[in-house]
């Protein structure tokens, strides 16, 4: 059973062993509260499940002395919100009174399809984050007790409705010295842990020095008004280094890291306010050539889908 520890005496215990959920699943569990104090008064005890898009913007502010400062504004757009109330006062009562002891309440939330995937750390910006929050809502003269537990949520994405994901992709480019690179990958759509099969051909009639070729898999995302880029994998092709061969033909494969990767996804929406999400992946081939201004790149868009199940060891983004 998944749980989070708390110094407040409140714990959120999930029915499943990890904190990962697909959007067609139900988030359920039990809230436990160990009350070590006498007569805790509360107006309500409840749990909420929230999904938020977070991003920042900056603006310049000029003070009365004419000096300008840059101010960062933090924006949060709610994409999902649901509440389960555990305890409310009876008619005519203003508050509930809880004696010392242990209290327990079950909860359950049904997620909405097509929610954007969790991406980036919940404390960093930009991000998409989901969390459960328990609140012991006390009278105004007392500080509320809150307990937070982050979970990872992914939409189910597959290649069934997009046969183009299974078709071979061709790519090509060349530099000023007419070094040409062309090739294919076996398909456009992949799952984490799968292999990408490459065939490449290099034409180098002038016998220019080709130092090396770097291969990267990049995650590029636009979250609200922010862009971020993450390098998922980077390596140097071992068989093509410091060569002047006129013709090179190579077949090789690269394994996508078998880690929790937010799927390729587009989203626009929100409650009260809207924001957009665009997550894409690229394979980049960077050819490093002898001489000035001779390097060149090739970007190959690929699609990453979600696996049908996630290991319990992969419960954080």
Would you state the pLDDT for residue 176?
81
pLDDT in tens, 74-107: 999 999 999 999 999 887 778 999 999 999 999 9
In a domain, residue 64? The reply is no
Check whether residue 150 and residue 168 sit in a common domain: no
Of 154, 187, 220, the position where a domain reaches its end is: 154
Answer whether 127's CB lies under 8 Å from 120's CB.
Answer: yes
169/292 same-domain check: yes
Q: Are residues 14 and 136 in the same domain?
A: yes
Q: Is 235 found in the same domain as 123?
A: no
* Same domain as 46, residue 88: yes
DSSP 263: P
Say if residue 85 is in the same domain as residue 173. no
179 occurs within a structural domain: yes
Considering the domain architecture, whether residues 170 and 230 belong to the same structural domain is answered as yes
Banded pLDDT at 317 (limits 50, 70, 90): very low
Mean pLDDT calculated for residue range 2-10: 65
Based on the structure, what is the number of domains in the chain? 2
Q: Of 154, 171, 195, which residue constitutes the final position of a domain?
A: 154
Predicted TM-score (pTM) of the model is 0.89
Tell whether 31 and 84 lie within a shared domain: yes
Same domain as 90, residue 26: yes
Q: Does residue 75 belong to any structural domain of this protein?
A: no
pLDDT at 314: 45
Domain limit, last residue, from 97, 128, 154: 154
Q: Does residue 74 belong to any structural domain of this protein?
A: no
- What mean pLDDT value characterizes the chain? 91
| Enclosing domain of residue 231 | 163-304
Q: Is the pLDDT of residue 185 over 60?
A: yes
Q: What is the CATH number of the domain that holds 208?
A: 2.60.40.640
Asked which of 8-22, 151-165, 301-315 is least confident by mean pLDDT, the reply is 301-315
Candidates 121, 157, 124, 114; CA nearest to 268 is 114
pLDDT per residue as tens digits for the range 105-139: 999 999 998 899 999 999 999 999 999 999 999 88
User: Quick one: average pLDDT of 29-51?
Assistant: 94
Q: Could you tell me if 245 and 300 lie in one domain?
A: yes
DSSP for 31-93, written as a single string: EEEEE-SSSEEESEEEEEEEEEEEEEEEEEEE-TTS-EEEEEEEEEEEEEEEEEEEE-PPTT-
Name the residue with higher pLDDT: 89 or 276. Answer: 276
Please say if the pLDDT value at position 313 is more than 60. Answer: no
């Amino acid at each position: 059973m998944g749980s989070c520890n708390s110094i407040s005496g409140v714990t959120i215990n999930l029915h499943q062993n990890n904190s990962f959920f697909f959007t067609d699943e139900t988030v359920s569990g039990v809230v436990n509260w160990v009350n070590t104090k006498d007569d805790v008064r509360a107006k309500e005890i409840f749990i909420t499940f929230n999904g938020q898009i977070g991003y920042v913007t900056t603006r310049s502010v000029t003070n009365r002395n004419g000096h300008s400062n840059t101010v960062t504004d933090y924006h949060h757009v709610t994409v999902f919100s649901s509440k389960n109330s555990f305890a409310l006062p009876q008619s005519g009562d203003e508050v509930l009174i809880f004696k010392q002891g242990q209290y327990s309440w079950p909860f359950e939330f049904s997620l909405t399809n097509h929610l954007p995937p969790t991406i980036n750390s919940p404390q960093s910006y930009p991000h998409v984050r989901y969390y459960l929050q328990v609140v012991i809502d006390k009278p105004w003269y007392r500080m509320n007790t809150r307990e937070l537990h982050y979970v990872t949520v992914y939409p189910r994405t597959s290649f069934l409705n997009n046969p183009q994901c299974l078709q071979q992709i061709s790519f090509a480019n060349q530099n000023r010295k007419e070094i040409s690179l062309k090739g294919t990958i076996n398909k456009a759509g992949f799952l984490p842990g799968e292999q990408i099969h490459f065939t490449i051909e290099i034409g180098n009639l002038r016998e220019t020095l080709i130092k090396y070729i770097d291969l990267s898999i990049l995650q590029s995302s636009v979250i609200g008004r922010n862009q971020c880029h993450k390098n998922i994998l980077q390596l140097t092709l071992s068989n093509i280094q410091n060569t002047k061969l006129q013709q090179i033909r190579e077949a090789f494969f690269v394994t996508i890291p078998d880690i929790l990767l937010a799927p390729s996804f587009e989203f626009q929406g929100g409650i009260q306010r809207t924001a957009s999400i665009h997550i894409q992946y690229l394979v980049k081939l960077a050819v490093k050539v002898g001489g000035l201004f001779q390097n060149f790149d090739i970007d190959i868009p690929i699609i990453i889908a979600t696996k049908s199940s996630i290991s319990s060891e992969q419960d954080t983004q």
